[in-house]
Amino acid sequence: MATISKTLLESESSKDSSYDRITEVKVFDETKLGVKGLFDSGVTKIPRMFHHAKVKDNTETTPNDLKFNVPIIDLKDVEKNSSMRVEALDKIKRACKEWGFFQVVNHGIGVEVLDEMLHGIRRFHEQDAKVRKTFYSRDMSKKVRYFSNGRLFTDSTADWRDSIAFFSSPDPPNPEEIPVVCRYLSNTNFDCDNFDTIKFM
């Protein structure tokens, strides 16, 4: 079983001006185990690099009856109607700016494919650390990358998350580049024409 450096775990208790975030981040990243590695190591205190200085607590000021509506982006007929395409793009931009996320409907991807994607990602994160480590990389040219925090070295604090990313544009990864536990999706056929017609950048 892979282990997390004692330096990383001990840095949490260091609250004085001698705290060296850069060293803590480097030690964390060099493990190639991510947040899951911290969790698996039995960490009982969240390392300081994950502490956010100001977290606004709205629990007392938010009314109980306030309802939030997640923005919904409908892709139906966007490839046929340019005004609907423009409207969908505007909604995506607004949702990203105001919410940071949104729900997409009528995208042409079947529920069974979405379910298998979630299962595959879960299988990836639950497999042995030695296997996960082989995919850990900050090399932006790789088509398949496992990493913790895309901006780990530039943001003032890290988020408690790991990611496995698959980059398919302009060319998809070769099947052997994809983790074995995620390969089912690479053999799945589904209609994804809407994604060809909408350019998000």
pLDDT along the chain (201 residues), means of 10: 50 63 94 94 92 67 68 93 94 92 91 88 93 94 91 90 88 89 62 33 25
pLDDT of amino acid 55: 62
Strands 72-74 and 144-147, sheet pairing: unpaired
pTM: 0.68
Measured CA to CA, the distance from residue 109 to residue 114 in angstroms comes to 7
Under 8 Å CB-to-CB from 37, ≥6 apart: which residues? 2, 4, 31, 129
164 touches 193 (CB < 8 A):
no
pLDDT of amino acid 102: 93
9 touches 16 (CB < 8 A):
no
pLDDT of amino acid 69: 85
136 touches 32 (CB < 8 A):
yes
Residue type, 13: S
Which run of H or E residues covers position 173?
A: none
Measured CA to CA, the distance from residue 5 to residue 197 in angstroms comes to 47
